[in-house]
Amino acid sequence: MNKKKLIVSLVVVAIVAAGFYYYQTKPDVSDPLVAYKAAMGKDTVGGKTPAETLALFVAALKANDATGAAQYFMLDDNVSRAKWEKQLADLQAQGMLIQMADDIEKNARAIKPLYEGDGGYELLNNEGNVRDVLDMELNKFTGVWKLQSL
């Protein structure tokens, strides 16, 4: 009888310990952004300043590396850069990446941030008017700057 009580007690203790372990290690399902936050925490491609990220992006364009250049863009809500990968691959197929790099180098002017973690550049046309904006944002999970739009 004592042996039976001991075995039952050990089984109960094991079940409680397993439940406690599971509760402590399970992902927080109450946060719908778990996958996004995890991916952002691993996204270390970029510079410590907007200027550094822009220089790295331009270097990838000059190397005619559409895939590498796409890595400097912030992940979208679907934890993807597919939109940027496609756009840059299309430009690469047209032989436009190097021209794009030259255009950015010659015509990009830093703009004043609107809030902490915001940055960017205006691309000016020949008349000195704003033609496009390169919006940038700090990945707060890794401390690197990423392109948000182009």
pLDDT in tens, 19-47: 777 766 665 556 667 888 888 899 999 99
The mean pLDDT value for 53-75 works out to 96
Q: Is the pLDDT of residue 11 over 60?
A: yes
Q: Whole-model pTM above 0.85?
A: no
pLDDT in tens, 85-103: 999 999 999 999 999 999 9
pLDDT of residue 78: 85
Contact partners, residue 111, CB within 8 Å, separation at least 6: 119, 120, 121, 122, 133
User: Is the distance from CB of 133 to CB of 142 less than 8 angstroms?
Assistant: no
Domains, the chain, ordered by start: 45-149 (3.10.450)
Question: What rounded mean pLDDT belongs to the chain?
Answer: 88
